[in-house]
Amino acid sequence: MTKEFNWWNRNPEEGKYKVKAKIHGSVLSFTRHQGHHTRWEEHHPTDDDFDRLLSDAEKRVPRRLISPKQMKEIEQIVTSEREKASRF
């Protein structure tokens, strides 16, 4: 399963930037870029980013873009990644 989720974040210090969460298999990666002609950089997700990923995934289930089984897998991946991020 390969799924991508995109959204915009606004930060007073950094300005507006686009975040991309990509799930490939059981690997979750976050990247970001600011501006149209800038390169994608690694993004260290916050709890808000994990919450946004789950809410966007939940919106896709009723439209049948994600199956309920895939939604459970995404929840498990996010839970494990959130635990890893909290250790640091």
- Judge contact between 3 and 23, C-beta under 8 A: yes
Q: What SS3 string covers 9-45? A: EEECCCEEEEEEEEEECCEEEEEEECCCCCCCEECCC
Percent of the chain topping pLDDT 90: 81
Residue 42, pLDDT above cutoff 70: yes
pTM: 0.90
Pair of tokens at residue 29: 């990666």
Residue 50, pLDDT above cutoff 80: yes
Residue with tokens 């089984």: 69
Residue 59, pLDDT above cutoff 90: yes
